[in-house]
């Protein structure tokens, strides 16, 4: 059994001691969960415990361990049972039972009517902001989740870029949720995304918001990649809830279809940049030697090509494309494997709609190749 210790709140830094059975200790990098908020936190213990429980649920689900916690919100408790059952339907390696054992189940209300949107600056969240900005969503981004702890300076630059331009409030949660446990196999990585990213918001929701939007990051229909597509989909993650708050997955469709709305929205700002690169997430120890995006990873490729097929210059949206970009992308297609799900629909788009306008540092010749390439 995993035991979640009493929540400790020092200023706006929340922490819980985590205890796991001896034979699971090697799964942990640290023995204490923490989340530091940049807003005042004033919530019942049954809400404060949600992020720590969420940080350990994926390990419990994956290994069939029970979790014990002193108190927890009743709506959250029910919603995690539904989420677990839905994940079990999708991932055949999740066959075990997990019980959340609670001494005190509490009914809460958030007492807020605002809207929050998880926002990294990537393509999916930029699209969701472009569609939801009339709701004036509070943007929430998690440090150490999309960016590794070694890249704090880079992360601060990204957040500063958005804070300068957006009128809506933007909050940072600094949490070790992702770093607390060791990286696992694909199923483990897939089922931890939502509990980590959404669960971290629970303490700050009190008095502020009762709706959370999170961007759908998959594609609904693409042959042969069924499991990979289901990281964040409405019929699973819409079940996430606590108190009287609801969660909605927004914009669950092909990535390339999001660009017209993204472009229209971004053109309304002075030099607004997308930050979609995988590099800060994967290569924690490496130095970041680019401004916003490396231009040489699958996520950057889908951003660059998504803009090109709409006739736009990627360099106006946060990329740094030059003559050397195209050979790097061609080579990447050979090794990126499952990222075909982003790339192939864009290829089909050109075949159906013809070559787009514009030629940026040789992008036209690249797209001519891309249109017919076997990738
Ligand atoms: Zn990149």
Expressed in angstroms and rounded, the spacing between residue 297 Cα and the centre of ligand 1 is 4
Q: How far apart are CA 228 and CA 224, in angstroms?
A: 9
> Average pLDDT for residues 355-370, to the nearest whole number?
97
Q: How far is CA 154 from CA 211, 275, 307, 317, in A?
A: 29, 11, 24, 18
> Average pLDDT for residues 270-281, to the nearest whole number?
93
**Of 230, 250, 270, which residue constitutes the final position of a domain?**
250
> Average pLDDT for residues 203-226, to the nearest whole number?
77
Are residues 14 and 135 located together in one domain of the fold? no
Per-residue pLDDT, 219 = 59
Q: Tell me how many domains the chain contains.
A: 3
Q: How far apart are CA 48 and CA 68, in angstroms?
A: 15
**Of 83, 106, 129, which residue constitutes the final position of a domain?**
106
73, 108 contact by CB (below 8 A): yes
Q: What is the pLDDT of residues 165-179, one digit of tens each?
A: 999 999 999 999 999
**Looking at the chain, which runs of residues are DSSP E strands?**
2-4, 8-10, 13-19, 32-37, 67-73, 100-106, 114-118, 138-143, 170-175, 209-215, 241-242, 245-250
Expressed in angstroms and rounded, the spacing between residue 204 Cα and the centre of ligand 1 is 31
Expressed in angstroms and rounded, the spacing between residue 300 Cα and the centre of ligand 1 is 4
For tokens 């609670």, name the residue.
102
Expressed in angstroms and rounded, the spacing between residue 120 Cα and the centre of ligand 1 is 14
Are residues 264 and 229 located together in one domain of the fold? no
Per-residue pLDDT, 106 = 98
Are residues 268 and 221 located together in one domain of the fold? no
State which residues form the domain around 149. Answer: 114-250
Per-residue pLDDT, 343 = 85
Are residues 266 and 366 located together in one domain of the fold? yes
> Average pLDDT for residues 198-210, to the nearest whole number?
98
**224: pLDDT confidence band, cut at 50, 70 and 90?**
very low
Instruction: Evaluate if residue 227 carries a pLDDT over 50.
Output: no
Expressed in angstroms and rounded, the spacing between residue 299 Cα and the centre of ligand 1 is 6
Are residues 260 and 232 located together in one domain of the fold? no
Q: How far apart are CA 34 and CA 175, in angstroms?
A: 6
Instruction: Evaluate if residue 216 carries a pLDDT over 90.
Output: no
Expressed in angstroms and rounded, the spacing between residue 275 Cα and the centre of ligand 1 is 9
Which is nearest to 2 in space by CA: 88, 83, 69?
A: 69
What does the H/E/C string look like for 261-296?
Answer: HHHHHHCCCCCCCCCCCCHHHHCCCCCCCCCCCCCC
- Cα 36 to chain centroid distance, Å, stands at 18
CATH code, domain with 189: 3.40.50
Instruction: Evaluate if residue 126 carries a pLDDT over 50.
Output: yes
Expressed in angstroms and rounded, the spacing between residue 224 Cα and the centre of ligand 1 is 25
Per-residue pLDDT, 232 = 67
Are residues 120 and 222 located together in one domain of the fold? yes
For residue 134, give every residue at least 6 positions away whose Cβ sits within 8 Å of its Cβ, in sequence order, or none. none
Which has the minimum average pLDDT: 189-193, 335-339, 359-363?
335-339
Nearest-Å Rg of the Cα atoms of the chain is 21
Expressed in angstroms and rounded, the spacing between residue 319 Cα and the centre of ligand 1 is 9
User: The whole model's pTM is what?
Assistant: 0.94
Per-residue pLDDT, 315 = 98
Expressed in angstroms and rounded, the spacing between residue 295 Cα and the centre of ligand 1 is 5
Are residues 19 and 133 located together in one domain of the fold? no
Are residues 320 and 284 located together in one domain of the fold? yes
The DSSP secondary structure of 35-92, one letter per residue, reads: EEESS-----HHHHHHHHHHHHHHHHHHHT--EEEEEEEHHHHHHHHHHHHHHHHH-T
Instruction: Let me know how long the chain is.
Output: 375
> Average pLDDT for residues 134-154, to the nearest whole number?
93
Q: Which 8-state DSSP code applies to residue 28?
A: B
**189: pLDDT confidence band, cut at 50, 70 and 90?**
confident
Expressed in angstroms and rounded, the spacing between residue 332 Cα and the centre of ligand 1 is 11
Expressed in angstroms and rounded, the spacing between residue 292 Cα and the centre of ligand 1 is 9
Which is nearest to 116 in space by CA: 190, 207, 34?
A: 207
Are residues 36 and 75 located together in one domain of the fold? yes
Are residues 292 and 365 located together in one domain of the fold? yes
Per-residue pLDDT, 185 = 82
Are residues 17 and 99 located together in one domain of the fold? yes
Are residues 190 and 220 located together in one domain of the fold? yes
Per-residue pLDDT, 225 = 43
Per-residue pLDDT, 81 = 96
Per-residue pLDDT, 226 = 46
Per-residue pLDDT, 268 = 96
Q: What is the pLDDT of residues 47-83, one digit of tens each?
A: 999 999 999 999 999 999 999 999 999 999 999 999 9
Per-residue pLDDT, 233 = 72
């Amino acid at each position: 059994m995993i035991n979640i210790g009493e929540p400790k709140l020092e200023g706006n830094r929340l922490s819980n001691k985590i205890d796991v059975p001896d034979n699971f200790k090697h799964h942990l990098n640290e023995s204490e969960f923490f989340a530091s908020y940049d807003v005042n936190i004033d919530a019942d213990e049954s809400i404060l415990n949600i992020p720590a429980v969420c940080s350990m649920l994926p390990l419990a689900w994956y290994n069939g361990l029970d979790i014990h916690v002193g108190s927890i919100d009743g709506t959250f408790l029910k919603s995690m049972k539904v989420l677990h059952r839905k994940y079990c339907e999708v991932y055949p390696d999740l066959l075990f039972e997990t019980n959340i054992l609670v001494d005190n189940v509490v009914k809460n209300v958030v007492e807020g009517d605002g809207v929050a949107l998880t926002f990294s600056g990537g393509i999916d969240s930029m699209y969701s902001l472009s569609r939801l900005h009339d709701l004036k969503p509070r943007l929430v981004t998690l440090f150490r989740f999309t960016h590794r702890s070694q890249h704090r300076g880079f992360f601060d630059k990204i957040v500063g870029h958005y804070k300068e331009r957006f009128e809506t409030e933007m909050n940072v949660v600094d949490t070790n949720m992702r770093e607390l446990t060791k990286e696992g196999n694909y199923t483990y990585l897939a089922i931890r995304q939502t509990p980590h990213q959404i669960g971290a918001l629970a303490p700050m929701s009190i008095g502020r918001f009762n709706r959370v939007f999170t961007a759908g990051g998959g594609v609904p229909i693409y042959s042969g990649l069924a499991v990979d597509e289901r990281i964040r989909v409405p019929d699973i993650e819409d079940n996430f809830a606590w108190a009287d708050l609801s969660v909605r997955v927004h914009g669950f469709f092909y990535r390339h279809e999001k660009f017209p709305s993204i472009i229209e929205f971004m053109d309304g700002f002075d030099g607004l940049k997308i930050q979609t690169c995988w590099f800060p997430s994967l290569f924690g120890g490496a130095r970041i030697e680019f401004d916003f995006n490396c231009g040489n990873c699958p996520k950057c490729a889908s951003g660059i090509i998504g803009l090109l097929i709409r006739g736009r210059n990627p360099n106006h949206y946060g990329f740094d494309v030059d003559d050397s970009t195209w050979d790097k992308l061609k080579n990447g297609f050979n090794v990126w494997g499952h990222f075909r799900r982003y790339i192939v629909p864009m290829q089909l788009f050109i075949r159906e709609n013809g070559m787009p306008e514009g030629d940026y540092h040789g992008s036209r010749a690249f797209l001519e190749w891309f249109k017919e390439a076997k990738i």
